[in-house]
Amino acid sequence: MSLKDQITEDMKTAMRAKDSERLGTIRLLLAAMKQKEVDERVVLDDAAVVAIVDKLVKQRKDSIAAFEQAARHDLADKEKSEMAVLQTYLPQRMSAEETQAAVQAIVAELGAKGPGDMGKVMGVVKTRLAGKADMGQVSAAVKAALAG
């Protein structure tokens, strides 16, 4: 079963269970997926769905930070619950150590040296680690690997 089919089934389950919070989040995800399909006239594969989920999770993290800074804990809690639902559709993430090791292997493979090669390294890293690692962690690991 594809990830897209799994999300649709989860929506039906949430409807039957009358779980309105989960249902709302899943519908938001399905709407984002449909928007991408219509805009680009493509059928999404699992990797594209993971990229959309990743983007929505990042938006939730940014919103949580903004709401907590503004002392709006009610809104931050709502975003946290949405983020928890979305994260169930992401594959298991690499640990910080695994991410660092993968980045260092790529840097060595490319023979990259210095901050000037950051773009070249990030291009390769994004294709290999997309959906598997937190890109914020990846960026920090690349900076550290090129600085030392």
More confident residue, 89 or 95: 89
pLDDT surpassing 70 at residue 148: no
- The mean pLDDT of 127-137, rounded to a whole number, is 76
Condensed to tens digits (0 to 9), the pLDDT of residues 49-67 reads: 888 998 999 999 999 999 9
Residue 4 to residue 7: CA distance in whole angstroms: 5
Is pTM beyond 0.85 here?
no
Q: How many CB atoms lie within 10 A of CB 57?
A: 19
What structural domains does the chain harbor? Answer: 3-87 (1.10.1510.10), 96-147 (1.10.10.410)
